[in-house]
Amino acid sequence: MKRKWKILIGVLALLVVSGGAFAGYRYSQRGIVTVQTGKAVRQDLTAVVTASGEIKPLKYINIGANAFGRLIDIYVKEGDRVKKGQVVARLESIQAQADVAAMKASVSSAEADSAASESSMKAADDAIATAQAGLDRSKADEDRLKTDFLRSQELFNNKLIAKQDLDQKKALYEAQHATVVESEAKVAQARAQRAQAAAQLSSSQKHVVQTQANLNRQADILDKYNTTSPIDGVVTNLPVRVGETMVTGIQNSPGSTIMTIADMSVITAEVKVDETDIVNVEMGQQADVTIDAIPNRTFKGHVIEIGNTAILRSTGVAASQSTTSSQEAKDFKVVIGLDNPPEEIRPGLSCTGKITTATRQKALTIPIQALTVRQKGDLEEKKPGQDVPSSNPAVERAKKEEVQGVFVINGDKAEFRKVDTGITGATDIEVTSGLKDGDEIITGSYKVIRTMRNHTRIKVDNKTPVKTET
């Protein structure tokens, strides 16, 4: 019996000692937090903005109907290449053709009248020249006969000739003077006829100009029934068929768009960048574009356009055009020009663009999840009685000021250290001040980092968690 009691007492004593040791260990471990750690290291870092969108040609035009009528001919099909000015479709234009034919006849008639007036003008010029020549000849004869008459009068006064000879000279002179007067009247008549012909010619020419202008107007109306391509490109959309009635002036309405022609020489990826990232995007930045329909390939490009108007994510409408005030997320349009687009690319294909906004060589980096924020008041060493709020509002505001930083391992404690950051990569962020290469920082878990207080005792456990099979 004594032996059994000794064994029982020994076992109980061992249990008591073990329990005490375990309780002491548990007590000593009270307040210790298990964490995972990493180090601040130097590496090349690239900041990338990722956005989705679709493939679009840089220049494309929706060709609408310029006249109302029935579509009677389509000269192209989807995928055809067309040249600038090429007729691609035609509307029924019987009335317009008749109007043009009538105006052409009017122009021909007006031109004939103008030619006749011009001929009359030339005839009047010839008549003036003839009458002027007759007048000049008559005046010359008048001057000659006048001289003979004056000489005969002088001879008569000297009684060297008879009165009969003087009267004859006088009669010849007076007759010639009458001829001069008649010639002057003919010149005046010819000039009047010329003025009339000139007026008729001017009227005819004005009529020609007017009818020609009317012909040009009717020809322009007729030309609107012929649809031509305004650019060199490819027909990418042909929503209508021969026989359909086309209308004008109604955008995005059936019957208003005949086809879409795209200039496929410059292909772009039009993506929507989140408003929080758009400030980092600049013209000329390099980008990698992946296309869903062309897997396992990446296409190089660069930013060629940045939108200045925010677009509501839910509706796709510009925020400035929205009739309701909304605080919903917004995007900005960014256009990436592809350097070497593949031949099989098509407008409308979904794509993803990754724009390189910044790069750093040998930057000091830490994992993004290690970065946290604390209020200044939570970082201060509090003494008894300091939990009472201060009556000074400025002091309270200073305590609530947020500080960005990380928890650094200092012995067996976590010490909060303020840091300044630079660019952000996919998993790491650049640290510009507050840390040095090789500093050990707390990187997990997220819950621990979010709730940890300054100078908390910690235990490092960097073992990879073992996944249990279910």
User: Exposure pattern of 209-246 as b/e (b: 16+ CB <10 Å)?
Assistant: eebbebbeebeebbbbbebebebbbbbbbbebeeeeeb
107 & 127 share domain: yes
Amino acid at 419: V
CA atoms within 13 A on the CB side of 105: 5
The pLDDT tens digits of the residues spanning 407-445 come to: 999 988 999 999 999 998 889 999 999 999 999 999 988
CATH number at residue 219: 1.10.287.620
353 & 377 share domain: no
Instruction: Please tell me whether residue 423 adopts helix, strand or coil conformation.
Output: strand
Total domains in the fold of the chain: 3
Nearest to 75 by CA among 58, 87, 92: 87
The pLDDT tens digits of the residues spanning 183-202 come to: 888 888 888 888 888 888 78
The pLDDT tens digits of the residues spanning 131-172 come to: 888 888 888 888 888 888 888 888 888 888 888 888 888 888
pLDDT of residue 469: 46
| Residue at 10 is within a domain | no
419 & 386 share domain: yes
99 & 219 share domain: yes
Nearest to 138 by CA among 104, 100, 185, 106: 185
| Residue at 166 is within a domain | yes
| Residue at 323 is within a domain | yes
Listed residues 322, 343, 360: the one ending a domain: 360
| Range of the structural domain that residue 272 is part of | 49-57+266-360
CA dist., res. 180 & res. 211, Å (int): 46
Per-residue pLDDT for 391 more than 70?
no
| Residue at 281 is within a domain | yes
Total-model pTM: 0.62
CATH number at residue 402: 2.40.420.20
332 & 443 share domain: no
CA dist., res. 438 & res. 408, Å (int): 11
| Residue at 350 is within a domain | yes
Listed residues 310, 327, 360: the one ending a domain: 360
CA dist., res. 109 & res. 198, Å (int): 18
pLDDT of residue 47: 93
270 & 378 share domain: no
382 & 429 share domain: yes
Listed residues 191, 223, 255: the one ending a domain: 223
CA dist., res. 202 & res. 208, Å (int): 10
310 & 389 share domain: no
Segment among 204-208, 221-225, 462-466 with least mean pLDDT: 462-466
270 & 370 share domain: no
The pLDDT tens digits of the residues spanning 282-329 come to: 999 999 999 999 999 999 999 999 999 888 887 777 777 666 656 778
Interacting residues of 331 by C-beta distance below 8 A, sequence separation 6+: 51, 272, 273, 274, 275, 310, 311, 313
Q: To which residue do tokens 């019987």 refer?
A: 94
